[in-house]
Structure 1
């Protein structure tokens, strides 16, 4: 059992991240392809992804085979949404970090001996890992990113409404069936029934908690960075829709503009849209202008930020595109982890 002991300051600094983390989704996808218990909405995605696996992806998949462990360097806490920059960051992981995380697992037999060059920081092994991550992203995450973004935004918006209407207590109580929320004197306990069966206590001590919604993560995970807020990544609520690529909408609007439309959930600013889709703010502004002119979104100023919202027509277009995909069977759009 892992238990987070949160005080009033932690609760006042608890936030829900506005976009998914590309590396978290990538690592979670690597775990999902080996799990036999794929939920219904991921069954077809898992079958397609397994069929697309290639030998060049092995340097990444070697690190994802354990059901309840991932190396921390695969999912740094900055939670970038730009895939290329995120992969560069992983490839530049300090050699000391690689060795500290990988050598004990190799010696215990949890990881195969072929991971040893990476644990030693070998430049060729680093580049092979980056190439493997890029290749796996291209088949397992990239094509589905607009759908993942839209689902994460919808989950965040729902929790935001709950926080406003009922309070943070209800948000944390309903966060995940794996998590248990209860008051404990002057503090509060958020407990997670960990698979490794060890009792651990984590005390943020006023640093706050950043909640990171994830589409592909099988179960919650905690990343404790002493220099920043504690990070709790959690699987979003299951959906009845199959994970799809968003291709029909991309055919109509173009892939980037379709991704921009899918990212406009919960009133994001132009800069938030840009970060979510992985484009420049100027490009995001051009796309939102076009979507606004087409009557698919509205824009209003909130202080210094410009925020966007879907119109009924925009919502209908997104729903119709996703329904069409399901109907025609097309493929679908220094840290310690606990």
Structure 2
């Protein structure tokens, strides 16, 4: 059991994020791949994602295999929704932190030995991790991001109405079936069963709590950044709708070209598009050229790299091509 011991100041500083955290969703998606079962609305998503896995994604998925643990450095405290910006936070992880978080799990045999170079902070291993996160994001999260964002915003709206109508006590009491809320006088406790079965007590001591609704997350998790509010990510209530992707756009442009258009939304270079989708640089360049000729993307040279961006027409087509939940 992990228990948050809150005081009145913590309650007054409790907020709910309005947008999903892309790296929390990415990590949770990775963990979902290794679960024995998943909710019905994620079954086809998992089948599609597993079919799209590539060896280059392994350096990241190695860190997601344990149901009860995930290194904190892959979900940094920025909690942003922009993948590129969030990835830069991971890239800036100090070597000392990599060792502190990974070495104990390696020594215990919980992680494969091939994680060792990353735990040592080797530059090549760090680059491989970032490339693996980019490639996995492209197949597991990016195509579904509009649906994920809409679901998280809906959950936040529900919490907002509860706060106005009944106060923070009701919000925390009804937050998730995984969480237990107790209040008695000036004592407040929010707790959940840990996957690793250890008794843990966490005291924010007036720093407040940031609640992060998460679509893929299988169970609540706490991220404790001493420099800011305590972060409690919690799974939103299961949807009855199958998680969908931009299928009409794939029918129109072709699966790979539609995927290239989706990746270009993040402003990558040609080589980054290739790595994200597991295709050759020549193929990525050809698809980008076709999209550019159709007026959907623009390209410009930055040193030796060619960077791509969506035009207003391309952005509109990408939005329209995303299937709304049924």
TM-score range, shorter chain: 0.7 to 0.9
Hey, what's the Cα distance between the residues in 1 that align with 2:152 and 2:212?
Answer: 9
Aligned partners of 1:164 and 1:248: how far apart in 2? 40
What is the deviation of 1:250? 9.5
Matching residue of 2:143: 143
Would the aligned equivalents of 1:213 and 1:235 in 2 still touch at CA under 8 Å? yes
1:172-321 matches, within 5 Å, as 172-248=172-248, 321=324
Contact 1:147 1:246 in 2 (8 A): no
Q: Which range moved further: 152-161 or 179-188?
A: 179-188
Asked if the contact 2:78/2:86 (under 8 Å) is kept, the reply is no
Displacement of 1:319 after TM fit?
11
Residue in 2 that maps onto 1:265: none
TM-score by length of 2: 0.77
Q: CA deviation at 1:35?
A: 0.6
User: How many angstroms does 1:92 deviate by?
Assistant: 2.3
Runs of 4+ that moved beyond 2 A: 246-252, 317-323
Q: State the distance in 2 between where 1:43 and 1:197 align.
A: 27
CA contact 2:31–2:66 (8 Å) conserved in 1: yes
Question: Is the Cα contact below 8 Å between 2:25 and 2:216 reproduced in 1?
Answer: yes
Pick closer, same or farther for the CA change 1:143–1:319 going to 2, 3 Å: closer
SS of residue paired to 2:241: coil
C-alpha offsets along residues 141-170 of structure 1, whole Å, 9 cap, x if unaligned? 000001100110111111111111111111
Post-superposition CA distance 1:188-237 (Å, at most 9, x none): 11111112222111111111110000000100001111111110000001
Q: Is the 8 A contact 1:24 1:79 kept in 2?
A: yes
Deviations 1:247-296 (A, max 9, x none): 448999x988xx9xxxxxxxxxxxxxxxxxxxxxxx9xx89xx9xxxxxx
- Asked if the contact 1:88–1:130 (Cα under 8 Å) also holds between the matched residues in 2, the reply is no
Return the match for 1:322 from 311, 322, 325: 325
Counterpart position of 2:287: none
Report the equivalent of 2:305.
Answer: none
The aligned runs of 1:14-33 (5 Å cut-off) are: 14-33=14-33
Answer whether contact 1:6 1:205 (CA < 8 A) is retained: yes
TM-score relative to the length of structure 1: 0.74
Segments of structure 2 that go 5 or more residues without pairing to the other structure are 253-257, 266-308
| Residue 95 of structure 1, CA deviation | 0.3
Deviates more, 1:80-89 or 1:20-29: 80-89
2:68 alignment partner, SS class:
coil
Partner residue of 1:44? 44
What RMSD, in angstroms, separates the aligned Cα atoms of the two structures? 2.6
